[in-house]
Structure 1
């Protein structure tokens, strides 16, 4: 494993590639029906990462597909207002995807309803995009496992992008976020994701996502034991497995978030340069919003590696950013680097 991954110098932008989505946030009591109004947010995993990075003074570009209409023009203006470069967005198709989520619920439960079929992004196909042009001036390419979960064509587009980025020597990261409701086109994640991870320098996820997407088994009964030391050891073994199976991978990060009647506990780990780091527990009795915490962690990792910070410092900042995001109602963080560094670990 390359011990100097965190010392690589970056001068270009971080390009985040993924589907822009609208989130409709319903209240659990159904008052939205009485009030005839619902909170409405613009996000998407990769846009959440780009938003955080731009806020933290990392040059950020966002690449997605949108219809060529007035609404998309307004979205472009909004992205520019956040110092995110939207100039490479591909315009075609007829609609923007959306999803409906009950406030406070998790993206993995039954409170989630997707409405993103036949969106502009879902209609992408190989050969449409001039990747040489899109990747011009880019030092880092980020995407998530949500993209290849949409359909085979988008999975093929992802591979097309990774081949082009690798040829240019661009650093590549992936978030192994698993959305079971999206894998509906006849392929399982383990049939698709390993082929994409082989191009990645940084892999982020958790041990259960690695089991589903990369076929790395989690010890039976591990969750029943519920011991932090056991979880961290499992993450270390998973991390070693990933880097041995995929030699291009130089860093693997894992998150652990546990919800129970006593609140929420959150901690993370990072394996890079042959060294393993983990954080103390971060705890809260009550949170506001689970959406985007993982995206904020991913952004924190990219921020740290982009700025050549030490691995322990990278992990600590990314963890604080992700934990703090649990108390922000929007999809992306609104906190500066300085504000995040003063976050308390118990709320």
Structure 2
């Protein structure tokens, strides 16, 4: 029997105006629980897979409500760290998360950002674990968390645990004097599943990018470039087994075109293409893609089903308000 999936990353609260400006006539601001790794954990829990979420936040009512929502979605939180004085947050300055509105982070000195090496008993946490998922957001926060990630990855790798990474590139993070290219390759070398997109791979791992790729480039051309990108990654990262990419394009605030590619060392596949002009909330769509891929691979589905499921999960999230997916 396979062990549980562990997702590690910062718990966040998303604040968002109910109208087009933060200070608006209705005086209303909406709040949603989130964070990339929590989003993935919730979708996995909804899928019925054994999943545990590890993060840190103060022992207060907001944290308790946050964790109750996770538990209601079948996510185990037994190893959650109650500590510090602040839960991280971000403000999305666009109503309903539709446009490419400005994101303002408020994460410095949060409880999660203060975690240091030696404070988490990774050997105990990984006792009944068969999959460890993390994202590039964690080492983007500070140098100390980079060391925490390395500590966790070394132990997970030594135990033969499958390791997946989402190459979330956040250009407003990485403010502590090191670039992603200086940090990420050393961490990704432990990973078996590398997910993200060709542009994040370029920014974080130094793979090539074609400046001629643009919105009107055909999916077939993107697929061919993604194949080349995966060959480069497989050459550099000897333990990598799967590379998965999302391709998402927005023509206006209500529009999204989405497809994905998946690559093993001997096969490359592309998903169906989805397009809509009726999205409700774009936040968390990429995380739903990651969860769909993880769930399919965890259950040993064939690779075409894996990329098809991942893209469909990402597409379905476009019609759900908030960071978390739902069970529909």
TM-score higher than 0.5:
yes
Instruction: Compute the RMSD of aligned alpha carbons.
Output: 1.8
| Farther off after superposition, 234-243 or 68-77 | 68-77
Q: What is the alpha-carbon distance in structure 1 between the residues aligned to residue 85 and residue 37 of structure 2? A: 21
Cross-structure match for 1:314: 306
Q: Does 1:87 find its partner at 2:78? A: yes
Q: What is the alpha-carbon distance in structure 1 between the residues aligned to residue 273 and residue 298 of structure 2? A: 26
Q: What is the alpha-carbon distance in structure 1 between the residues aligned to residue 10 and residue 215 of structure 2? A: 36
Summarize the alignment of residues 154-173 of structure 1 with structure 2, pairs less than 5 Å apart: 154-173=145-164
Q: Please point out which of 98, 122, 126 is paired with 1:131.
A: 122
The alpha-carbon deviation at position 224 of structure 1 amounts to 6.9
Q: Is the 8 A contact 1:105 1:111 kept in 2?
A: no
Cross-structure match for 2:283: 291
Q: Is the 8 A contact 1:20 1:47 kept in 2?
A: yes
For residues 181-206 of structure 1, what are the alpha-carbon distances to aligned partners after superposition, in whole Å with 9 as ceiling and x for unaligned?
01111011011111111001101111
For residues 44-101 of structure 1, what are the alpha-carbon distances to aligned partners after superposition, in whole Å with 9 as ceiling and x for unaligned?
0000000000000100100001123344334333322221110001222111000000
Cα 1:211–1:295 shift into 2, 3 Å? same
| Farther off after superposition, 171-180 or 90-99 | 90-99
Cross-structure match for 1:112: 103
Cross-structure match for 2:270: 278
Q: Is the 8 A contact 2:132 2:161 kept in 1?
A: yes
Cα 1:71–1:288 shift into 2, 3 Å? closer
Q: Is the 8 A contact 2:272 2:308 kept in 1?
A: no
The alpha-carbon deviation at position 36 of structure 1 amounts to 2.3
Q: What is the alpha-carbon distance in structure 1 between the residues aligned to residue 96 and residue 260 of structure 2? A: 22
Q: Does 1:205 find its partner at 2:193? A: no
Cross-structure match for 1:230: 221
Q: Secondary structure at the match of 2:15?
A: strand
Cross-structure match for 1:344: none
Summarize the alignment of residues 1-347 of structure 1 with structure 2, pairs less than 5 Å apart: 11-30=2-21, 33-101=24-92, 102-105=94-97, 111-223=102-214, 226-261=217-252, 263-336=255-328
Query: What is the count of residue pairs matched by the alignment?
Result: 326
Q: What is the alpha-carbon distance in structure 2 between the residues aligned to residue 106 and residue 71 of structure 1? A: 26
Q: Is the 8 A contact 1:250 1:272 kept in 2?
A: yes
TM-score by length of 1: 0.90
TM-score by length of 2: 0.95
Cα 1:26–1:133 shift into 2, 3 Å? same
Q: Is the 8 A contact 1:235 1:269 kept in 2?
A: yes
